[in-house]
């Protein structure tokens, strides 16, 4: 029983934080939303250098994993820095392929996993448990679908649709395409990949919530109204205190889910992270006032992402149902 990150894991978080702080992720996210993927790809290359994409991939396929706790550590930082792109989906695709390999379907893993692990390729996908749209289908190197027990390489995608989060662009993969695998193993692997997607999304949401809280606390210390910093007003203090309570009780759920990967734990983490990060966004917007409501103010990147991630890979209602289903 040692439910604490070890020194190495903490150091990993710190180094990712430092790297992303230096990488101007805000500019990359804004460019990404405008359809310019260059700066975002540069951030991805740095993440790849740091080994982030190798974490879910078994050593056999040139990865270092699967390491779910380290993946959660990384995704908290990705959320804190508003990194754009199909990060969750790339992890989910890697897990799907690795799981299929374990069930005996090794060809797709051999073909794609090494490039996903190295960061040479990004991926997006739709699964039975996701919506019909794939994140960044126009930007990802690999667009997979794994519905109805068939894993396919999508032949393209329909029109790109814009999300409330400007850095998220979604499109439905076109039907058909090369059949990579089929049968119950695909369905089982998709389920496992969904759990990882939910875990990664939860960790990312937690990071988004922490960033929103940090920025709002800093703002409340310097913004004056009625002759005093607004951070002296008790209504402001208490609202931020409640945000901290919720985030600090989400953190153990996220790392608990990363540790056990139990369906109930993953579901609990997804619900709590989605709701608490969104609560942080509501508080951050209200306490910033009008400035927070503008797209040009950087806070907007996290505000809109908190809302989008709450619904991504299933909204809290869907996952609450799974919390109870896991107890049957």
Partner 1 sequence: MDLEFTPEEAEFRQRARDWLAAHVPPRPLPSLETAEGFTAHRAWERELAADRWSVVSWPEEYGGQGADIVKWLVFEEEYYAAGAPGRVSQNGINLLAPTLFDFGTEEQRARVLPAMATGEVIWAQAWSEPESGSDLASLRSTARRTDGGWLLSGQKTWSSRAAFADRAFGLFRSGPGEPHGTAADRPAKPHHGLTYLMFPLDADGVTVRPVGRLDGKPAFAELFLDDVFVPDEDVIGEPGQGWRIAMSTTGNERGLTLRSPGRFLAAADRLVRQWRARTDTADTALRDRVADAVIGARAYELFTWANASRFTAGGTIGAESSLNKVFWSEYDIALHETALDLLGPDGELLDGSPADGPDWTEGYVFSLAGPIYAGTNEIQRDIIAERLLGLPKGRR
Residues 233-262 that bind its own copies (CB under 8 A): 233-235, 238
Total site size for its own copies, rule CB under 8 A: 4
Selection from 124, 54, 46 nearest residue 78 by Cα: 46
133 in contact with partner 1 (CB under 8 A): yes
Place of tokens 């997607």: 197
β-sheet bridge partners, residue 143: 124
Q: Which is nearer to partner 1, 76 or 258 (CB)?
A: 258
Q: Which is nearer to partner 1, 138 or 141 (CB)?
A: 138
Contact status, residue 101 vs residue 61, Cβ threshold 8 Å: yes
320 in contact with partner 1 (CB under 8 A): yes
293 binds, among its own copies, partner 1, none (CB under 5 to 8 A by kind): partner 1
Site stretch for its own copies (CB under 8 A), options 118-126, 139-147, 231-239, 291-299 = 231-239
Total site size for partner 1, rule CB under 8 A: 82
Distance CA 98, CA 101 (A): 5
245 binds, among its own copies, partner 1, none (CB under 5 to 8 A by kind): partner 1
- Rounded to a whole number of angstroms, the minimum distance from the CB of residue 145 to partner 1 is 15
Give the N- to C-terminal CA distance of the chain in Å, as an integer. Answer: 26
Site stretch for its own copies (CB under 8 A), options 42-50, 103-111, 230-238, 278-286 = 230-238
β-sheet bridge partners, residue 135: 170
- Rounded to a whole number of angstroms, the minimum distance from the CB of residue 156 to its own copies is 43
Selection from 196, 140, 194 nearest residue 168 by Cα: 140
- Rounded to a whole number of angstroms, the minimum distance from the CB of residue 235 to its own copies is 5
Q: Rounded to 5 degrees, what are φ and ψ at 100?
A: -60, -40
Burial degree of 141 (CB within 10 A; 0-12, 13-18, 19+): middle
β-sheet bridge partners, residue 142: 123
Q: Which is nearer to partner 1, 121 or 269 (CB)?
A: 269
259 in contact with partner 1 (CB under 8 A): yes
Q: Which is nearer to partner 1, 14 or 249 (CB)?
A: 249
Distance CA 162, CA 166 (A): 7
Stated as kind and residue range, the H or E segment containing 318 is helix 316-325
245 in contact with partner 1 (CB under 8 A): yes
Contact residues toward its own copies (CB under 8 A) are: 233-235, 238
């Amino acid at each position: 029983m040692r439910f604490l990150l070890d020194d190495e894991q903490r150091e990993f978080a710190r180094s990712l934080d430092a790297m992303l702080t230096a990488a101007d992720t805000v500019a990359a996210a804004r460019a990404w939303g405008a359809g310019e993927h260059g700066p975002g790809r540069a951030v991805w290359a740095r993440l790849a250098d740091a080994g982030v994409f190798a974490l879910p991939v078994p050593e056999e396929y040139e990865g270092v994993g699967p390491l779910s706790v380290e993946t959660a550590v990384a995704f908290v930082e990705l959320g804190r820095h508003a990194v754009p792109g199909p990060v969750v989906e790339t992890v989910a695709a890697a897990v799907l392929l690795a799981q299929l390999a374990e069930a005996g379907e090794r060809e797709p893993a051999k073909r794609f996993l090494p490039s996903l692990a190295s960061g040479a390729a990004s991926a997006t996908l739709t699964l039975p448990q996701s919506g019909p749209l794939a994140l960044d289908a126009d930007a990802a190197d690999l667009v997979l679908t794994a519905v109805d027990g068939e894993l396919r390489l999508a032949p393209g995608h329909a029109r790109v649709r814009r999300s409330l989060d400007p850095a998220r662009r979604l499109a439905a993969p076109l039907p058909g395409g090369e059949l990579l695998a089929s049968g119950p193993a695909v369905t089982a692997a998709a389920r496992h990949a969904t759990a990882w997607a939910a875990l990664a999304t939860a960790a990312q949401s937690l990071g988004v919530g922490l960033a929103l809280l940090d920025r709002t606390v800093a703002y409340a210390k310097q913004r004056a109204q009625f002759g005093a910093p607004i951070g002296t007003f008790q209504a402001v203090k208490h609202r931020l205190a409640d945000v901290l309570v919720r985030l600090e009780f989400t953190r153990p759920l996220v790392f608990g889910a990363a540790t056990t990967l139990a369906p109930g734990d993953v579901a609990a983490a997804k619900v709590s992270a989605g709701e608490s990060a969104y609560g942080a966004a509501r508080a951050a917007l209200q306490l910033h006032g009008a400035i927070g409501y503008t797209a040009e103010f950087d806070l907007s990147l996290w505000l809109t992402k908190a809302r989008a991630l709450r619904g991504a890979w299933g909204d809290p209602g869907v996952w609450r149902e799974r919390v109870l289903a896991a107890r049957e």
